[in-house]
Structure 1
């Protein structure tokens, strides 16, 4: 019997949120907040960025990003430097310790999720794989 869209939407939203929270609970040794880790990921993917670019990516105000960056600098995960062509602008980049933190967090999150999938029956994993295309379509809408 087909499930009504409002009911499915409510249950799917709750399940996705709870799964996402559980995955995010797996963290590297620095035990960063989600916004701090997100900054590291942006830098890992994009290379050097200005605080304004990071604030735009995170959709937050620049003063909030400045505080986040300063915490990450103090933790040794990022470093600030003068922009190569405009000395008035600061660029932020990952340190080796920051790269290690991103890799460790990703590894822990993947390991947790892989363990959950390995505990499922093969037909359950197949059903989940079938739903993956639909979830991607929703995510990209």
Structure 2
């Protein structure tokens, strides 16, 4: 077991990562128009293409009923399409519309632009190098189950 002093950096890291995530969410005007789960659902569809509503619900770790409400809103906004499955006509496949794809890419672009501006304005070249080197270990932490 580590001592309390060694453990402090863990708490500091959690705090700063949480604050950065909240800040990034606020820096996208486009993202503010959708809930976190709606944005995440669009991201999954961009990554995986067409998915069944039950697959999306499972990936988001929410009920099928909650996913149904999210999909209804995204459909209303013109961000997704519902098409009958080619293999099983009883099933519906959800995919992004062109507007949906443009929306998710615009959100990412807005956040990337803000983050690049913030890094350039606040970090030295050496600090920017440290951030680049931190990506690999942070990715390992994110992928840890």
TM-score normalised by structure 2 residue count: 0.88
Q: Secondary structure at the match of 1:49?
A: coil
Match of 1:124 in 2: 127
Instruction: Please tell me the root mean square deviation across aligned C-alpha atoms, in Å.
Output: 1.6
Match of 2:41 among 35, 39, 42: 39
Match of 2:12 in 1: 11
Following superposition, the deviation at residue 29 of structure 1 comes to: 3.3
Structure 1 CA distance for aligned equivalents of residues 100 and 63 of structure 2 = 23
- Contact conserved, 1:55 with 1:61, CA < 8 A, in 2? yes
Structure 2 CA distance for aligned equivalents of residues 39 and 85 of structure 1 = 23
Show structure 1 runs of 4+ deviating over 3 A. none
1:53-72 equivalent positions in 2, closer than 5 A: 53-72=55-74
- Which structure shows the higher helix fraction? 2
Pair 1:27-2:35 in alignment = no
Match of 1:133 in 2: 136
Following superposition, the deviation at residue 28 of structure 1 comes to: 5.1
Moved more, 113-122 or 3-12: 3-12
Q: Secondary structure at the match of 1:81?
A: strand
| Number of aligned positions between the proteins | 139
Runs of 5+ consecutive residues of structure 1 not aligned to the other structure:
none
Following superposition, the deviation at residue 137 of structure 1 comes to: 2.5
